[in-house]
Chains A and B, each alone.
Chain A
Amino acid sequence: MEISKEKLEWMYTTMYRIRRFEETMLEQTFKGNSMGVTHPSDGQEAPPTGVCAHLTDKDWIGSTHRGHGHCIAKGLDTHAMMAEIMGRATGQCGGKGGSMHIADFSKGMLGANAIVGASIPLAVGAALTAKYKGIENESVGVSFFGDGASSQGVLHESMNLASVWKLPVIFACENNGYAEATPAWYSVSAEDIASRADGYGMPGVVVDGMDVFEVYEAAGEAIARARAGEGPTFLELKTYRYHGHFHADDPKKYRKPDEEEHYHERDALKNFEKRVTGQKLMSAKELKSIRDSIEQEMLDAVEFALESPMPDVEALYSDVYVNYSNPIFGLR
């Protein structure tokens, strides 16, 4: 598959931005600047990048508790994301959503979702809107979820719905091998989760989720199918989470060192760099220039977030409803 120079630069920028956002976000969390639980996605840069490379703001994605990478790949602003994680008024959701609920409807991002599997039917619904309006060619629904969500009933309902209604949906399963601490070899009944697609009458494709080019190619075919009105595709993107389930989780308690080393050797960014410089598609200098600009962006994002005001207490009561006639204050 031919990839333009511009697209390659976007891919590297996006993957490096995800990597550094997660590392920076963790540093800030351990400094006590984050207000809650965060779930880092570094190591899993290739799936959101390779998939979202084909999408525009008119396409919709659903995401998970581990959603920062999806947000970044869909074009969300890292300043507003960092501010949201720090609970600030300038955050993407005004400080009311936090790390697990970052959304940007202007970018086609239906929101990170902290109930495992719960965002899957939302992407199906977005695809239903596209079909209803006859705009499948410009608006598909992509559902990102993990191997853990593959055991949720709502995934199976959503796959059946998307298939019988022939909706433009891509089920993008990021299998990072672990549902919290429980390994997929224990909790998933199939060798490949993608094999389940067969039972729902849609193609199921197993993809090396550490290789952004592989993801880009498989997602390109799936999205083209969806845009052509040919229905849903299931992609199983086999990837790896470098950190634990959440910021304070030490994965060394349940993962072997040789496994972690194996995936670090196949690091999505390192392999991208090796490939594009080897094939003289991008120079080492160009790559460094991208990295430098992201480093500055992260410094700026942290500064922006730390200097941003906290939300006013009145924000507690706003946006529960568009309008509601009873008072919503607590009883004291």
Chain B
Amino acid sequence: MTTHNKIDPLGPGYEGVAGKELRFRDVFRDTLRAEMNRDQDVFLMGEDISGGFDRDTKEPLDAWGGPFAATKGLVQEFGPDRIRDAPISEAGFVGAAVGAALTGLRPVVDLMYFDFVTVAYDQLLSNAAKSRYMFGGQTRVPMTLFARSGAGTGHAAQHSESFYSMLAHIPGLKVVVPSDPYSVKGLLAAAIRDDDPVFLVNDKKLINLTGFVPDEDYVIELGKGRYMQRGDDVTLVGMSYTSVVCEQAAVQLADAGINAEVIDMMSLSPFDEDILLESVQKTNNVVIVDEDTPRASMASEFAAVIADKAFDHLDAPVKRVTGPHSPVPYNKGLENAFMPQPEDVVGTVRNMLGRD
């Protein structure tokens, strides 16, 4: 097993590693399977994850393969006790997962849409995140939660949120945001093996993307970011799907003769201060791209850290490209306007560098 830090899987350090081009969703499911095979205490719980039951035999049907087909085939392999289909009771089953974690299991909870976090928020905040501290370190809560975030699929206001900072704000909870098939494999495995509660936020726009994934068993250390691309003129900071947006923007900037460095944060709590400061000290310019709404966001947090610890290295004010302070709209044109687009990032960089 390897621990990868700051590795660009397509970069020079990675030549010769065996692997293949895979879809994000397939890697996600294969990692769940591998972790369930690795540890008998790992089980999965969520709405519709066994996809209905036969009226006569009572056997699971796996009609959907779980929300977004993330768990397809797993119920046949592991049975309904380890792929535990839950009624629509987010507070109840997230609370039960905390209770199971406190008593020796390692539950993994599929919360379907990220917006449903709020229905279970008390259990997450008051029980999952606080039990270890308020009981004086007697216990640990080794649970993993995941859910689909993000706009761009016409799911509108109540199924499209990206409010990472509502989770990252909670002491006791960890938050990770994979951005490609490589990072979801390493982060999901690390989350499940971690002894603290970890929330993996999975942007819907990533689910059908493909990318290179090493065959070997590896974890990505929680709290580490990575360079997606090296450059000298400006640092673009992405998280989850906005890392893809940053890479697309970097291509357009290259055409204009601007060499952007792209950082994929991968973890939001803890997060990699060192990589932010290292890059900003080199490029002296930084744009943070976050699909979340701007107030009290991760973008604001990263900006504050850079302003606090790298102020003397900045040639221009830290800029943030985020969604507006509004719910996510339904209409396609409005929804596209809500999400940070590569063009928004390019425009911000050009203004910043005086290269209009």
Q: Give chain A's interface residues, CB within 8 Å of chain B.
A: 60, 62, 91-97, 101, 103-105, 110-111, 113, 115, 118-133, 141, 153-154, 157-158, 160-161, 164-165, 318-326, 328, 331
A128 interface neighbour in B100, B137, B221, B222, Cβ under 8 Å? B100
CA distance A320 to B129 in the complex (A): 8
Residues from chain A with a CB closer than 8 A to the CB of B93 are 121, 157, 161
Given A103-B135, A129-B104, are A154 and B99 neighbors across the interface (CB < 8 Å)?
no
Q: Let me know if A93 and B81 touch, CB within 8 A.
A: no
Q: Let me know if B95 and A122 touch, CB within 8 A.
A: yes
Given A122-B99, A322-B196, are A157 and B270 neighbors across the interface (CB < 8 Å)?
no
| B interface, size bucket | 35 or more
Give the nearest-CB partner of B172 in chain A: A320
Answer yes or no: B26 CB below 8 A from chain A CBs.
Answer: no
Q: Let me know if B43 and A326 touch, CB within 8 A.
A: no
Q: How many CB-defined contacts (below 8 Å) exist between A and B?
A: 160
Answer yes or no: B348 CB below 8 A from chain A CBs.
Answer: no
Q: Let me know if B102 and A125 touch, CB within 8 A.
A: yes
Q: Let me know if B99 and A97 touch, CB within 8 A.
A: no
Q: Let me know if A161 and B86 touch, CB within 8 A.
A: yes
Answer yes or no: B3 CB below 8 A from chain A CBs.
Answer: no
CB distance from B176 to the nearest CB of A (A): 12
Answer yes or no: B317 CB below 8 A from chain A CBs.
Answer: no
Residues from chain B with a CB closer than 8 A to the CB of A324 are 174, 196, 223, 270
CB distance from B319 to the nearest CB of A (A): 22
Q: Let me know if B270 and A96 touch, CB within 8 A.
A: no
CA distance A178 to B269 in the complex (A): 41
Q: Let me know if B99 and A125 touch, CB within 8 A.
A: yes
Question: Which 7 A-B residue pairs are closest in the complex by CB-CB distance?
Answer: A125-B99, A121-B95, A157-B92, A93-B136, A319-B137, A94-B136, A122-B99
CB distance from A99 to the nearest CB of B (A): 12
Given A103-B139, A118-B95, A118-B127, are A325 and B102 neighbors across the interface (CB < 8 Å)?
no
Q: Let me know if A96 and B99 touch, CB within 8 A.
A: no
Q: Let me know if A94 and B137 touch, CB within 8 A.
A: yes
Residues from chain B with a CB closer than 8 A to the CB of A164 are 87
A113-B126, A164-B87 given; name 18 further pairs at CB < 8 Å.
A93-B138, A101-B134, A103-B131, A110-B103, A111-B134, A118-B95, A119-B127, A121-B123, A122-B95, A122-B102, A124-B95, A124-B96, A128-B96, A128-B105, A157-B89, A161-B86, A319-B136, A328-B171
